[in-house]
Amino acid sequence: MEYNPGWNSSSVNLLHVRAQGPRDTLHYVWSSIGAPAVLLVATESPSSSLGINWTRLLSPTPAGAVWIDPPGSVVHSSAVVFTKLFEYSETKPSEELFYPPYDLSDFSWASVNHSLNHTALTAELTGVPATDPGGGFANGSLAFRVTAYEARGRDGRLPGLLHTANSSQVEFVLAGVAPRANGSRFLLEVATVEQPGVTQALRSARSIDDEFTPTIFEMLSLVAESQNQSSTLSFLQWKATAYGSRSPRREDGIQCQARGLHEANWSRPVSSVVLAFFGEGVGSTYRVSALNVSFGGEEGKVYQEKRYLSWSVLVGFGDPPTDTFSPLVISIMAVALGTPLAMLLVGTCLVLLAQRKRYSEYEPIN
């Protein structure tokens, strides 16, 4: 992990996470210069490095300010941008009233250097609106907590996402923000930038194995695929739940829904690091898609009571991690299915033995 590599000031945030393999390197570039975003770059060189022209990056025209050396080593690049936070309430059944959105590119962000932990590989981007006429953020904040991983494992907190060394986790946290109505719900707009020849697909998978996330049976994935769908290049993956507590439990669950993936109708995401890497082709040469993720419990009461919302999503390269049936679930299924079968077999044997015993009391007729 590097914080603002080549730049001595902490007035802006750029966090570079580099994962080196024997034949390749993965780069994650998190930034809050403009809208918070992460740039994902996979290279086929074990020694590839990140280059930054800070003067150009912080200028009004940042195109070309971020690059990878050697340039020919890049095999895949994409970006995820968190653009806006919407707040809405239901006035009538199937009728929603939206309030003016919070544009995350207009937020003021605290220095990541204060939260950076090189041992745990964690960092936190925390921000508040630069101007807040309604005072909703007077006692609250919005944050993105980043965690990188060195090996396969599972996060210890709900929703307990399974991760690999090819992925990182980001937790979106809304804490202490005053809602603008009784029963307010929130919606986070997530945009993606992809290379030519790459398409986005939203997938939903259901499983009866809910050992690590009780009562949540749905896993959602937003995957970037080559046009012939021969391979998955990168992904976002999350469980269909958020939580309303700093120490989440099952009863703190908040319903989480993905509202259809669509092509964005704006020319570029308002993120300097994305424009700095992809250049002026964002929105034309490079495809921009957007997805809205909504959070709301029963009439929004969970957030109303606790003023806390957290949602975890995995970001990575290749295929998303896949859960297999755990030994506990396998043993439960074996007992549940095996016991009736064993009883049937034992019962059949007893009946056969009883019939044989009854007829064996008679002498054979000659």
261-309 pLDDT, tens digit per residue, is 998 866 556 789 999 999 988 878 898 999 999 998 655 577 888 899 9
193: β partners: 79, 288
β-bridge partners, 80: 38, 192
Q: Please list, in sequence order, all residues whose beta carbon lies within 8 angstroms of the beta carbon of residue 35, skipping any fewer than 6 positions away.
A: 81, 82, 83, 103, 104, 105, 269, 270, 271
Residue 128: C-alpha distances to residues 37, 64, 94, 348 (Å): 16, 29, 31, 71
Which comes out higher in pLDDT, residue 102 or 365? 102
Top mean pLDDT of 123-132, 250-259, 281-290, 339-348 is at 123-132
Q: What is the mean pLDDT of the chain?
A: 89
Question: What percent of the chain has pLDDT above 90?
Answer: 66
Please list, in sequence order, all residues whose beta carbon lies within 8 angstroms of the beta carbon of residue 74, skipping any fewer than 6 positions away.
41, 42, 43, 48, 68
**Calpha distance 289→282 (Å, rounded):** 11
**What is the mean pLDDT of the segment spanning 61-90?**
94
3-state secondary structure of 199: strand
In this structure, what token pair is assigned to residue 156?
């210890």
Radius of gyration of the chain (CA): 26
Lowest mean pLDDT among 6-20, 140-154, 211-225: 211-225
Q: How far apart are CA 128 and CA 141, in angstroms?
A: 5
pTM of the model: 0.87
pLDDT in tens, 17-73: 999 999 999 999 999 999 999 999 999 999 999 999 999 999 999 999 999 999 899
- Which residue type sits at 326? S
- Going from the C-alpha of 327 to that of each of 31, 163, 211, 235, 335, the distances in angstroms are 40, 19, 10, 27, 12
